[in-house]
Amino acid sequence: MIRRLVGLAPAQLLLVVLAGCVAVGALVVSVPVLGNAGMLLASASLLAALGILAQWLWQSRQSTDWDNTFTESAPPRGADSRISRLAVDLRDTATGNPVSATRIHAALTGLAVERLRDRRGLTGTDESRAALGPDLTAYLAGPPTTRVTAAQLAAFITTLEEL
C-alpha cells in the first residue's frame, strides 16, 4: 500500500489525505459517543496526515542532504591560555623576573626545534645555526635566565616565523 501511495502524484496524494480526514470527521460526527474525544482524535489525525503529506511532497521534489558541511570557527582571540601565559611572561621578563625568563627561553627553544624539524627538516646543529642566525643561536645556547629586551624578543620571534 505504501508503494502505491509513494507512486501517486502530489495532487492525488493530497486527495487521499483529504479523503482520510473526511472519513475520520464523518465518523466523529455520526457517532455521538465520540464527542470531545473524537474531535481531539480527528484534529490530531488531520495534523499528522498533513505533516506526513508535507514530508512526502518535500522528499518527492528533492532529496534531503544530511551531510555535515560545517567548518569549525576560529576560537576568539585570548581564548588560548598559553598565549595569555606568554604575554605575562614577556611582561615579567622585561622587568628581570628569572622564572619568566626561563619559561620564555624554553618556549623559544621548543619553537625553534619544531620549526627547524617540521619546515626545514633540519636536525644537525651546524645547519640549524645557519638557519637561526647568530643572535638567536647565541640566546638559545646561553643560560635560560639571560636578560633579553623586547626588541630582541621581537627579532627572535620574527626569525622563527620566517623559518
Q: What is the pLDDT of residues 80-139, one digit of tens each?
A: 566 677 778 878 877 878 888 888 888 888 888 887 777 667 666 767 777 788 888 888
Query: What are 117-123's contacts with CB under 8 Å, separation 24+?
Result: 119/163, 120/163
- Within 10 Å of residue 160's Cβ, how many Cβ atoms? 16
Count how many residues are written for the chain: 163
Q: How many helices (H) and strands (E) does the chain have?
A: 8, 0
Are residues 26 and 87 both part of a single domain? Answer: no
Are residues 105 and 52 both part of a single domain? Answer: no
State how far the Cα of 156 lies from the Cα of 158, in Å rounded to an integer: 5
Q: Is the pLDDT of residue 76 over 60?
A: yes
Per the listing, cell 569549525 goes with 72
Residue 44 maps to a domain = yes
Are residues 51 and 108 both part of a single domain? Answer: no
Are residues 12 and 56 both part of a single domain? Answer: yes
* Mean pLDDT, residues 37-53: 77
Residue 73 maps to a domain = no
Band of residue 30 on the pLDDT scale cut at 50, 70, 90 = confident
Domain extent, residue 44, equals: 2-61
pLDDT on residue 2: 63
Are residues 26 and 98 both part of a single domain? Answer: no
More confident residue, 74 or 100: 100
Indicate yes or no: pTM above 0.85: no
Answer yes or no: are the C-beta atoms of 84 and 132 closer than 8 Å: no
State how far the Cα of 105 lies from the Cα of 65, in Å rounded to an integer: 51
Angle, alpha carbons 86-87-92 (nearest 5°): 95
Q: What mean pLDDT, rounded, does the chain reach? A: 75
Are residues 92 and 40 both part of a single domain? Answer: no
- Structural domains of the chain, count: 2
Are residues 88 and 117 both part of a single domain? Answer: yes
Are residues 46 and 95 both part of a single domain? Answer: no
pLDDT on residue 158: 80
- Orientation of helix 35-61 relative to helix 10-30, angle to 10°: 180
Band of residue 44 on the pLDDT scale cut at 50, 70, 90 = confident
